[in-house]
Structure 1
Amino acid sequence: MLTHKKNNPHTKVKSNSVIKVKKLRKMKQVVNKTVNLDLVGVDGNAYVLLATFKRQAKKENWSEQEIELVMEEAQSKDYDYLLSTILTHCEVKPEEE
């Protein structure tokens, strides 16, 4: 059950939102993996966040089951939980030369 925040539909994920959610979250990962993804500046719409995560996970050869586990968990509660769940499975990795 995904509830939507009453925000501007064109709101972007801001770095202070990411920091706030990281401080609040004490959840474990549904899948013990992360994707190389920085959500700062991405449209904050829940469906955009899910699609962005899914696209990157597919690029990094995650199985459909792993992707679905994360997405189902993310959608099981409210928007803040969705964002926290997705962020738990994202990590910005340094670029390789």
Structure 2
Amino acid sequence: MARSSSPLLVELGTQRASLDAHLESGDFADASDVLRAGLRALDRETAARDAVMKAGIEEALGDPRPSVPAPDVFDRLRRKQDRRVERPDRDPD
């Protein structure tokens, strides 16, 4: 197989032990295979996170309730925080 890119120098630090363990397992032929598998896993994780975010945004946009003006939201959050500061969940020492 012809190379589609030039070699890349990567500093793995403590992750080198993980790379070596994957190579010793025999599941991967070389370090490039391990890194490509890791990038594919990262791509899947990113796609899943993006799908969750997109679904949440679509749900919010489709919510039939009227929008709440930002100043009202921030006032409500400030009041909630003020109550939390007045009554902390833990007992004082």
- TM-score for both structures, normalised by structure 2: 0.23
Higher helix share: 2
Higher Cα Rg, which structure: 2
Higher strand share: 1
Higher RCO (C-alpha 8 Å, min separation 6): 1
